[in-house]
Amino acid sequence: MENQLRELLNAHVPQPSVDYCVQFFSDNPFNFKITRKRLTKSGDYRYDPRDSSHTITINGDLNPFAFLITFIHECAHLKVKKAFGNRLIKPHGKEWKSAFQELMLPLLNKETFPIDILRPLTNYMLNPKASTHSDHALSYALSKHNPEGPSTTVRDIETGKLFRYESSVFEKMETRRTKALCRNVQNGKSYLFTLHAPIEPISEENETKLKSTQEINSYAKLNDIKEGALFSFRGRPFQKKQLRRTNVLCVDQNNKREYLIHKDSVVSPL
């Protein structure tokens, strides 16, 4: 099995890391499979209580550096399972973080990773999350080594353009130094994205289709609608009355009470 694993890893991870990965397998035997691309995950670890076996699967479309990080990520799950058994611990809690950091430490060098990945990877490993996609700097650095080239980022698209991030559609509203204010067009909430967050641009044709199918709701900043206009905010109908510095005096149409709502709040005109 070691020779088979070595042969597989030779084709999928940076050469300097092969011996290290094979040694972990030798000390902690497991079933290993390389799978087709999976949209919901890059890798997986499973324990089968019927025969006490461990199985690790990794997506075969990952570039060598992403493949290695995912491989070590899953090996950390295996290590935690062996150490803690059936004790109730969080999948990506402090036990996993510690195991992941310990296993990754010998690989954090220029021989294994290029410097453009090593820097954000080292920072990410200070407090690793469940997915490298949560770290936009690392995710973008890894994407630059994909065969198809780097991902499109929030920085690359114009203000007012739509894009997909994970399963949601956003509109880029404005750039604020190192981040961009973006609005989820399906629920109206605003979020700050780092400029190098990898995203999927939406073409003008598809943008038109989204609007025609009413997948995108109509939203605006409260400051941009006229006084006297009706709007919905957090599921309740209001009427805009008067601007007061950074807030707007509004009247709840259900109970007729007055409320101050921040002028930059995203609302749905009625």
Last residue of a domain, one of 125, 143, 161: 143
**Residue 98 belongs to domain spanning:** 2-143
Quick one: pLDDT at residue 197?
A: 80
- Do 264 and 168 fall within a single domain? no
Does position 185 have pLDDT exceeding 90, yes or no?
no
Residues 227, 190 within the same domain: no
| 100 and 29 together in one domain | yes
Residue 71 pLDDT class (50, 70, 90 cuts):
very high
pTM, to two decimals: 0.66
Whole-number pLDDT of residue 200: 87
pLDDT digits (tens, 9 = 90+) for 201-224: 888 878 777 766 555 556 778 888
**Mean pLDDT across the chain:** 89
Higher pLDDT, 156 or 204: 156
Q: Does position 245 have pLDDT exceeding 60, yes or no?
A: yes
**pLDDT for position 97:** 98
Note whether 25 and 107 are same-domain residues. Answer: yes
Instruction: Indicate whether 224 and 264 sit together in one domain.
Output: yes
The residue that leads in pLDDT, 135 or 197, is 135
Residues of the chain above pLDDT 90, percent: 54
- What is the average per-residue pLDDT within 118-138? 92
**Residues 249 and 156 placed together within one structural domain of the fold:** no
Among residues 153, 206, 154, 147, the alpha carbon closest in space to that of 175 is found at 154
| pLDDT-wise least confident of 19-23, 203-207, 252-256 | 203-207
pLDDT at 235 over 90: no
Report how far apart, in Å, the C-alpha atoms of 80 and of each of 71, 76, 99, 254 are.
Answer: 14, 6, 7, 54
- Among 86, 118, 143, the domain-final residue is 143
Phi then psi dihedrals of residue 12, to 5 deg: -130, -15
The last residue of one of the domains, among 192, 212, 232, is 212
Assigned token pair, 63: 């570039």
Q: In this predicted structure, what is the pLDDT of residue 54?
A: 98
* 136 and 25 in a common domain: yes
Domain co-membership, 110 together with 26: yes
For residues 138 and 156, membership in a common domain is answered with no
Q: Stretch 76-87: mean pLDDT, rounded?
A: 96
Class of residue 99 by CB neighbours under 10 A (exposed 0-12, middle 13-18, buried 19+): buried
Q: Which of 11-20, 105-114, 131-140, 245-254 has the lowest mean pLDDT?
A: 131-140
Q: Please tell me the total count of domains within the chain.
A: 3
Residue 111 reports pLDDT greater than 60: yes
Residues 32 and 135 in one domain: yes
CB atoms within 10 A of CB 35: 14
Residue 39 confidence (pLDDT): 63
Considering the domain architecture, whether residues 205 and 225 belong to the same structural domain is answered as no
**pLDDT, tens digit (0-9, with 9 covering 90-100), for 169-178:** 888 888 887 7
CATH number at residue 234: 2.30.30.30
Q: Does one domain contain both 131 and 6?
A: yes
As a whole number of angstroms, the distance between CA 238 and CA 102 comes to 55
